[in-house]
């Protein structure tokens, strides 16, 4: 169902403070900062009568269960039983999940804790915004996370469902793909196209070249550079945005979608920040999410490949991405799955 | 679950034009007219990523998928792939369903296309209304279609749940039944009864004879003639309405109910048309549908006959109808089922 | 799932009159008084087409099915068939359930009727209110009844979720437990505690001793005496309330919660009655029920003991209660289960 051994975005750093709960890979997770400001992630379910711990009080960095008052340290261990002789049963603990705070985000590792290596977290390649507030958002999507990955790794949909918002016209796309055992990238150029409204906020020419570089890194990071340039220029010379899309499964049919946007033009213009939030939120919630939900409905609960989907040239990245996810899940389950890119080439050709 | 080899009403002809979707026998169906005005029915699910085609544009009688832009002709075949080298995979097609436009209705055949013979569509026996607009409606009922057939083939319920609206008082009913391998008919007379409010719109005597002739024809057509006459007169001499009720399963627990009403009195009076729509819609949606939904709830998901329902004299038609449906479904599934009326007589007696 | 051989509260006596339906132990039950005022409980599902009988009319102590007009006596037997020759099929009956009216309540026995002995109904130990109206209420809770029993048999939760409403501060509790094969009791004293707001209505000292005696009797009766006294006094000398909580499973995940409250102080003060209803309703619906529903959600449909809940000193009564329920259900199902208190002692220690 899910890859567990990997870093997922759990929250924006700015969300953290008092305890709150979020469902991640099907598990109820309590997120909280301790008095020193360090972030923590713990199981939200009290092992006594299964109450939601995040509804309790925090007393000296201990979470008090709201139902019967057991207190848990942020290392997950029960440290106080107010009842009877106060003895604490050995099983009185909740899981703790490794977390890392980086790039304004809280990253969580839901799998084997000993495998959680912060150095495996890739650089997000964002444009430095120094102390300016982040432009971003968190959207709950009522769809299987793999439909979201499909959506992001094949931007050919943009010309259809984002016509007039995020996407230039249906010009010829030139694309190349790259894949490793844990990632897939797609590089696309569309030449001499009208500037889409999202880029027109900070790129003042009506026509130019549109450069898109998008890369998925397992399990849930998508890095994206979009650039509008004068016709024929290199992407780096243009109005560049660097964005991330962080896809974290909540349940089998719902997904957290965190996104962040940075740009190299008019970086201090707060009104462009606000318009960007509005344009992206509108596109993701009124264009992408309803389409993915409709597809999920028409899939009728069946597994994707069992429905024998058509394979088009634009599906290289999405298909590879799904096969890598399948392989990593099978490997975690000891099923002899593999995520070897070469071995899969024939299968999807 | 469903008889597939049979004509079902899919829509009123007046609904047809731009693409829209309707669930029929569990399948998502796109209904559309081409530029020449001919109606078409196609699978609504794109074979690429399962998007709902009816949300796409129509370009020169081709449906463009709203997600990634594949275009499908109204024969179901993909005729344009805007991506890569434009090659169209052999599997790029959606099912098409035979349709017939007749009597102001669009009929669809969901089973084997080669078996779809328009001449098997029975005459609806409606009273000619020439160019006057149809009196009718389309109601979604959240109940198993067989509960709707039960309801229609045993009008003894009318004296109870339609008291004061569609039905005369609880007078003695004289009924006879007829059945074939594919149909069941019930002829009923109630003598010297108060005129129900639905007939009082165009029959001006307070008391008369009430004649009902109702006939179900598999899979989903119910023809009905109701007549109020002066006491002792023949039905044909009275105020006659000829109606059809067209029952099309949407899913296992929801049903399309199309109805049409014609009459031989005050045919040009639009205010009677409007009152008829109001009376019938009220009866079907506030009297019949809640009762059937309550029965379905109390059946708790169990099969009808497994609950050992009581068999009353009034249940001949409904029981025969259910057995014919069972037999036709079994025959389609090669289960050696039969719809032979005589063989079933003992079983239900 | 449920103990069936036992008296459950079905309704307040004051609710009875015209037919109404209530789901009890998963069954749809029609509750009605006959013309003489005697209460009756019958299956609400018509055996003909499964219509809800309570929506029908009552004609001379007969319930007429609202769909096709079969009439049932309050002994459950069909006594009139308005159709055909009027013959009544032998199977035309609905179950009847023994009922007893006592203490302003209607008690129902859903199991083997011959085992229904009214003398097995325990005295509720309420304080006599003579002709004054009852203080009480009926709340539907969307939780498994066993979570409600857990809640009631371990009042240690009160200091947490009812802080400021029903419960005194987190003072030291002195508790003793008693159990029989069919009951569990917990006696608790908290000395020198602030008077909770619910008791402050009729106990005028700011501090006192809080005495709680609560006893569950299988399957669904909880008797409770709460007393506030001056420090060091016996409970009987104080402001005493005697309450019952009557827990009747509706379905596997929903429960009827009937409660009644009596007190020995300011018994005639209607404004205290009203405030008591408000305080208790608020506590049960905004404090208890959401917490139990959250626990049920986090249990994810799993059986309670399969989740290996922690066992604390305060859990003796709740755990014993669950084991007695399990044993009685197993015994009814002939599974050789037992409800022997001694045999279970080791298991839960």
Contact C312 A66 (CB under 8 A): no
The percent of residues in chain A predicted with pLDDT above 90, rounded, is 87
Q: Which among A150, A170, A294 has CB closest to B82?
A: A170
Model confidence band, residue B252 (pLDDT cutoffs 50, 70, 90) = very high
Region C187-202: mean pLDDT is: 92
Structure confidence at residue C346 as a pLDDT band (50, 70, 90): very low
Instruction: Specify the residue for token string 């404004």.
Output: C271
Q: Give the lowest-confidence range in A74-83, B322-331, C42-51, C339-348.
A: C339-348
Q: Return residues 92-151 of C near B (CB < 8 Å).
A: 92
Q: Is the pLDDT of residue A343 over 50?
A: no
**Which comes out higher in pLDDT, residue C172 or B76?**
B76
Residue B348: pLDDT band (50, 70, 90) is: very low
**What is the structure's pLDDT at B349?**
33
In this prediction, residues C11-39 reach a mean pLDDT of 98
* pLDDT mean across residues, chain C: 93
Chain B nearest-CA distance from A156, in A, is 6
State how far residue C47 is from chain B, nearest Cα, in angstroms: 6
Q: Is the CB of residue C21 less than 8 Å from the CB of residue C28? A: yes
Q: Which residues contact B30 (CB under 8 A, 6 or more apart)?
A: B19, B20, B21, B41, B42, B43, B44, B53, B54, B63
The answer to whether C337 and C326 are in contact (CB under 8 A) is yes
Whether C115 and C5 have beta carbons less than 8 Å apart is answered as yes
* Interface contact A252, partner C, CB < 8 A: no
Q: Considering chain B, what is the average pLDDT of its residues?
A: 93
Instruction: Give CB contacts under 8 A, 24+ apart, made by C30-39.
Output: C30/C54, C30/C63, C31/C106, C32/C58, C32/C63, C32/C74, C34/C61, C34/C74, C35/C60, C35/C61, C39/C13, C39/C99, C39/C101, C39/C106
For residue B347, the model assigns a pLDDT of 37
Mean pLDDT in residue range B163-175: 78
pLDDT score of C335 = 78
- In angstroms, the CA A165 to CA A136 distance is 17
- Which residues in C lie closer than 8 A to residue A91 (C-beta atoms)? 308, 310
pLDDT band at A349 (very low <50, low <70, confident <90, very high): very low
Collect all residues with Cβ–Cβ distance below 8 Å to B344 and sequence separation of at least 6.
B320, B323, B327
Nearest chain B residue to C54, by CA? B294
pLDDT at C336: 60
Which pLDDT value is given to residue C173?
83
Q: What is the pLDDT of residue B216?
A: 98
Instruction: Determine the pLDDT at residue A348.
Output: 37
Are the Cβ atoms of B48 and A312 closer than 8 angstroms? yes
* CA torsion through residues A292, A298, A300, A306, sign: negative
Q: Rg (Cα) of chain A, in Å, rounded? A: 22
The candidate with the shortest Cα–Cα distance to B52, out of B81, B23, B75, is B23
Which residues from chain A sit within 8 angstroms of residue C313, using beta carbons? 83-85
Contact B161 C66 (CB under 8 A): yes
**For the residues A54-75, what does the mean pLDDT come to?**
97
pLDDT band with cut points at 50, 70 and 90 for residue B126? very high
pLDDT value of position A210: 94
In percent, the amount of chain B with pLDDT more than 90 equals 87
pLDDT of residue A336: 60
- CATH architecture assignment, domain A7-120: 3-layer Sandwich (2.102)
Predicted local distance difference test score (pLDDT) of residue C133: 81
> Quick one: pLDDT band at residue A269, thresholds 50, 70, 90?
very high
Supply the pLDDT for residue A340. Answer: 45
Measured between CA atoms, the residue of chain C closest to residue A85 is C313
pLDDT of residue B341: 40
pLDDT at C139 over 70: yes
Q: Does C77 touch chain A (CB under 8 A)?
A: no
Q: What average pLDDT does this structure show over C24-31?
A: 98
Contacts with B312 from chain C: Cβ below 8 Å: 48, 68, 70, 81, 83-84, 89
B53 pLDDT above the threshold of 90: yes
CB contact under 8 A, B298 and C50: yes
User: Does B129 have pLDDT greater than 90?
Assistant: no
The answer, yes or no, to whether residue C235 has pLDDT greater than 90, is yes
For residue B165, give how far its alpha carbon lies from the nearest alpha carbon of chain A (Å).
Answer: 40
Distance from CA of A11 to the nearest CA of C (A): 21
Q: Which residue of A has its CA nearest to B66?
A: A160
Task: State the DSSP string of C51-88.
Answer: -BGGGS-EETTEEEPTTT--EEETTSBEEE--STT---
Q: A20 vs chain C: nearest CA distance in angstroms?
A: 14
- What mean pLDDT comes out for the span A41-62? 98
Nearest Cα neighbor of A4 from A138, A139, A72, A95 is A95
User: A270-308: per-residue pLDDT in tens?
Assistant: 999 999 999 999 999 999 999 999 999 999 999 999 999
Contacts of A308 in chain B (CB under 8 A): 47, 91
- In whole angstroms, give the CA distance from residue C8 to residue C121: 9
Distance from CA of A55 to the nearest CA of C (A): 9
Q: How far is B92 from chain A (nearest CA, A)?
A: 7
User: Would you state the pLDDT for residue A262?
Assistant: 96
Q: Which chain C residue has its CA at the smallest distance from B174's CA?
A: C84
Query: What is the rounded (10 degree) CA torsion for B88, B94, B100, B105?
Result: -120
Q: Is the pLDDT reported for residue C341 higher than 60?
A: no
- For chain A, give every domain's residue range: 7-120, 135-348
Its ipTM equals 0.92
- Average pLDDT in chain A: 93
Predicted local confidence at residue C316, as pLDDT: 94
pLDDT over 70, % of chain C: 96
Residue A344 in this model has a pLDDT that exceeds 80? no
pTM recorded for the entire structure? 0.93
Q: Which residues of B touch A310 (CB under 8 A)?
A: 47-48, 70, 89, 91-92
What CATH number is given for B135-348 in this structure? 3.90.380.10
| pLDDT (0 to 100) of residue C223 | 98
A291/B51 touch (CB, cutoff 8 Å), yes or no? yes
Establish if A48 touches chain C: CB-CB under 8 angstroms. Answer: yes
Query: Which other chains touch chain A, taking contact as 3+ CB pairs less than 8 Å apart?
Result: B, C
Residue that is written with structure tokens 């349940």 in the block: A251
* A291 vs B contacts (CB less than 8 Å): 51, 55, 66-67
Higher pLDDT, A20 or C134: A20
| Cβ pair C67:B298 closer than 8 A | no
CB-based contact C45 B308, cutoff 8 Å: no
pLDDT at residue number B173: 83
Which pLDDT value is given to residue C163?
Answer: 82
Is 70 exceeded by the pLDDT of residue C53?
yes
The residue-averaged pLDDT of B27-34 equals 98
Cβ atoms of B135 and B261 within 8 Å: the answer is yes
Mean per-residue pLDDT for C187-205? 92
Buried b / exposed e along A132-149 (16+ C-beta atoms within 10 A): eebbbbebebebbbbbbb
Average pLDDT (C139-147) is 98
Q: Answer whether B26 touches A (CB < 8 Å).
A: no
> Which residues, 6 or more positions from B286, have their beta carbon under 8 angstroms from its beta carbon?
none
- C161: chain A residues, CB-CB within 8 Å: 66-67
Spatial strand order in the sheet of B96-97: B20-24, B27-33, B39-43, B96-97
Task: Judge whether C67 is closer than 8 Å to chain B, CB to CB.
Answer: yes
Amino acid B171: pLDDT: 75
- The residues, ordered by sequence, that sit 6+ positions from C50 with a Cβ below 8 Å of its Cβ are B295, B298, B299, B307, B309
Please answer yes or no on whether A313 and B84 come within 8 Å at the CB atom: yes
Question: pLDDT by residue (tens digit) across B6-17?
Answer: 999 999 999 999
Contact between A67 and A44 (Cβ < 8 Å): no
What does the pLDDT read at residue B336?
60
How high is the pLDDT of residue C339?
A: 45
pLDDT confidence bin for C338, thresholds 50/70/90: very low
Does the fold of domain B135-348 match that of domain B7-120?
A: no
Kindly give the interhelix angle for C145-153 and C289-299, rounded to the nearest 10 degrees.
120
**Closest-CA residue to B27 (of A308, A298, A293):** A298
Question: Closest to A298 (Cβ–Cβ): which among B45, B65, B66?
Answer: B45
CB contact under 8 A, A89 and C311: yes
Q: In the prediction, which pLDDT does B132 show? A: 81
Contact present, C143 and C294 (Cβ < 8 Å): no
């Amino acid at each position: 169902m899910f890859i567990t051994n990997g870093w997922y975005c759990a929250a924006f750093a700015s969300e953290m403070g008092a305890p709150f709960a979020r469902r991640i890979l099907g598990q109820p997770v309590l997120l909280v900062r301790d008095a020193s400001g360090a972030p923590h992630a713990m199981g939200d379910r009290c092992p006594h009568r299964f109450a939601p711990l995040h509804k309790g009080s925090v007393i000296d960095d201990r979470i008090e269960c709201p139902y019967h008052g057991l207190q848990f340290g942020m290392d997950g261990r029960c440290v106080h039983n107010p009842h009877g002789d106060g003895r604490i049963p050995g099983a009185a603990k909740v899981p703790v999940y490794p977390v890392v705070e980086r790039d304004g985000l809280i990253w969580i590792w839901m799998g084997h804790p000993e495998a959680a290596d912060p150095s495996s977290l890739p650089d997000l390649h964002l444009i430095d915004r120094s102390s300016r507030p982040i432009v971003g958002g968190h959207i709950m999507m009522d769809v299987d996370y793999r439909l979201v990955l499909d959506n992001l790794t094949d931007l050919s949909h943009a010309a259809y469902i984002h016509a007039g918002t995020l996407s230039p016209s249906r010009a010829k796309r030139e694309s190349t793909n790259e894949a490793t055992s844990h990632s897939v990238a797609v590089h696309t150029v569309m030449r001499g196209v009208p500037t889409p409204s999202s880029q027109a906020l900070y790129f003042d020419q009506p026509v130019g070249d549109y450069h898109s570089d998008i890369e998925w890194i397992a399990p849930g990071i998508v890095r994206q550079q979009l650039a509008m340039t004068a016709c024929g220029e290199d992407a780096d010379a243009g109005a560049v945005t660097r964005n991330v899309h962080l896809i974290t499964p909540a349940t089998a049919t719902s997904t957290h979608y965190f996104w962040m946007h940075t740009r190299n033009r008019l970086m201090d213009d707060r009104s462009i920040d606000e318009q960007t939030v509005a344009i992206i939120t509108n596109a993701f919630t009124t264009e992408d999410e309803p389409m993915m939900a409709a597809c999920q409905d028409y899939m009728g609960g069946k597994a994707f490949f069992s429905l024998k989907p058509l394979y088009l040239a634009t599906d290289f990245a999405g298909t590879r991405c799904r096969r890598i996810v399948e392989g990593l899940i099978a490997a975690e389950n000891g099923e002899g799955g593999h995520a070897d890119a070469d071995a899969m080439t024939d299968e999807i050709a």
